[in-house]
């Protein structure tokens, strides 16, 4: 009975179980998509898909001016404060509109340069012209998802994620069947429009309760508060995806595009299960930490999260590791078995990152910009340096080992910064 009561009353588990269902369905759809991509486009095609997805992640951050976590934090704080919400969304409206206009213009103008950077030729420039039109939808998706996370509407989030991902995957498969890799890249480029339509259809009425469009102004009273989150997003999202793009270019140039595809395939599997954890961080952990003001309460919450999630994560990762060859053949094909050697390093790296992020999300919740930015930068710089060194001797495996080393260093630094919160006397935070 105690175990049953624990499951019923544990919000972390409720969100986890619902999110697990969504992730499970997404996983099945992703398996089909990845398998067909591998069959039709090979390792090189997987590498190209990785490039455009990394760029989409960069645009997601830049177009919304990186305010996602700021929206989560302040919606959580102001959800019963109409004036506070108007100030928040007026500021977000101004800065995201400005960012969107600039980005759209630059992408349209430099479409051929972007094609050359990502794909080593200019043949794909039309994809970037399409992206330039889609940028506003990318920005709005990011902001609206911030509201969903801020009010902890995890059931709505799960429904939206499931529907738009299924529709987007269907579009991708149709594009793959008729137009091969070129169609896939176009489908990925226009996916944000599908997400936007689904989001507004399901969540539109609730959005009207939070965003009073008639009362929005062109003043930016909260600009200073949100700029810290912009800096955070720039480092966490823009820089990390930029590093991935350049590593993929390095592998393609120094080894082969097929090897770049293997590394991308490993990263894709990692991102599938890490997405599950990231969602929990955004939907539950960030709003929860925002409301905590004393270190002993924070300590108890962190302990609960670790006790609840860490065993599940470890078990899941062990299953993935011991079934890695079956997974590779199922998701991709026998040509991708060369990536099996990467699993142990990738899983260890992801486990360390998961443990570190449970702690470091306190920096986001409390707007401790200098701590978040400095730790992220140290992690990225060490990853880039270690990666550049190890890839010369251990090739693609060296790159994944570099990720593990950088994540270990990141974890140690976060522990050191939070030592008083975790082990000291109770204090206000």
pTM for this one? 0.87
Distance CA 60, CA 74 (A): 20
Residue 172: per-residue pLDDT: 93
Model confidence at 223: pLDDT above 60: yes
Model confidence at 409: pLDDT above 60: yes
**% of the chain beyond a pLDDT of 70:** 93
pLDDT digits (tens, 9 = 90+) for 96-105: 999 999 999 9
Model confidence at 190: pLDDT above 60: yes
pLDDT digits (tens, 9 = 90+) for 49-94: 999 999 999 999 999 999 988 898 898 888 888 888 888 988 898 8
Model confidence at 304: pLDDT above 50: yes
Q: Which of 91-95, 113-117, 275-279, 304-308 has the lowest mean pLDDT?
A: 275-279
Model confidence at 8: pLDDT above 70: no
Instruction: Name the band, by pLDDT with cuts 50, 70 and 90, for residue 12.
Output: low
pLDDT digits (tens, 9 = 90+) for 230-259: 888 888 899 999 999 999 999 999 899 999
Residue 29: per-residue pLDDT: 82
Model confidence at 7: pLDDT above 60: no
Instruction: Name the band, by pLDDT with cuts 50, 70 and 90, for residue 423.
Output: very high
For residues 13-18, give the mean pLDDT. Answer: 55
Residue 214: per-residue pLDDT: 76
Q: Which of 9-23, 309-323, 394-408 tops mean pLDDT?
A: 394-408
Residue 330: per-residue pLDDT: 86
Average pLDDT, the chain: 89
Instruction: Name the band, by pLDDT with cuts 50, 70 and 90, for residue 309.
Output: confident
Model confidence at 4: pLDDT above 60: no
Residue 6: per-residue pLDDT: 43
pLDDT digits (tens, 9 = 90+) for 348-381: 999 999 999 999 999 988 888 899 999 999 999 9
Length of the chain: 429
Q: Which of 19-23, 112-116, 238-242 has the lowest mean pLDDT?
A: 19-23
Instruction: Name the band, by pLDDT with cuts 50, 70 and 90, for residue 153.
Output: confident
Residue 1: per-residue pLDDT: 47
Instruction: Show me where the domains of the chain are located.
Output: 2-423
Model confidence at 3: pLDDT above 70: no
Q: Which of 10-24, 38-52, 115-129, 275-289 has the lowest mean pLDDT?
A: 10-24
């Amino acid at each position: 009975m105690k175990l049953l009561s624990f499951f019923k009353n544990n919000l972390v588990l409720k969100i986890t179980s619902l999110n697990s269902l969504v992730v499970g369905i997404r996983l099945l759809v992703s398996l089909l998509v990845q398998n067909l991509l591998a069959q039709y486009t090979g390792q090189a095609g997987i590498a190209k898909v990785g490039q455009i997805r990394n760029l989409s992640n960069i645009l997601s951050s830049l177009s919304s001016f990186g305010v996602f976590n700021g929206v989560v934090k302040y919606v959580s704080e102001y959800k019963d404060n109409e004036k506070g919400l108007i100030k928040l969304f007026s500021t977000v409206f101004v800065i995201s509109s400005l960012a969107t206009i600039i980005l759209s213009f630059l992408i349209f103008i430099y479409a051929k340069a972007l094609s050359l950077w990502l794909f080593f030729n200019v043949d794909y420039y039309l994809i970037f012209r399409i992206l330039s039109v889609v940028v506003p939808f990318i920005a709005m998706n990011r902001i609206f998802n911030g509201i969903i996370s801020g009010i902890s509407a995890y059931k709505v989030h799960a429904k939206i994620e499931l529907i738009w991902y299924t529709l987007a995957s269907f579009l991708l498969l149709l594009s793959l069947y008729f137009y091969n890799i070129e169609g896939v890249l176009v489908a990925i480029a226009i996916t944000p429009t599908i997400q936007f339509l689904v989001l507004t259809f399901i969540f539109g009425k609730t959005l009207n309760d939070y965003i009073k469009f008639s009362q929005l102004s062109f003043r930016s009273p909260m600009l200073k508060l949100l700029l810290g989150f912009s800096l955070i997003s720039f480092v966490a999202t823009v820089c990390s995806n930029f590093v991935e793009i350049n590593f993929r270019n390095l592998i393609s140039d120094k080894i082969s595009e097929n090897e770049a595809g293997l590394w991308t395939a490993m990263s894709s599997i990692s991102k599938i299960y890490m997405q599950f954890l990231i969602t929990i961080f955004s939907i539950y952990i960030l709003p929860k930490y925002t409301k905590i003001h004393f270190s002993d309460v924070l300590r108890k919450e962190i302990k609960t999260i670790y006790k609840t999630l860490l065993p599940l994560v470890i078990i899941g990762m062990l299953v993935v590791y011991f079934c890695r060859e079956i997974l590779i053949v199922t998701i991709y094909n026998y040509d991708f078995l060369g990536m099996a050697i990467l699993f142990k390093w990738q899983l260890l790296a992801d486990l360390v990152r998961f443990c570190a992020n449970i702690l470091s999300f306190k920096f986001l919740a409390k707007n401790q910009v200098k701590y978040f930015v400095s730790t992220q930068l140290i992690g990225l710089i060490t990853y880039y340096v270690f990666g550049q060194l190890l890839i010369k001797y251990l090739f693609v495996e060296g790159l994944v080992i570099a990720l593990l080393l950088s994540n270990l260093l990141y974890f140690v630094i976060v522990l050191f910064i939070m030592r008083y919160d975790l082990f000291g006397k109770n204090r206000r935070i």
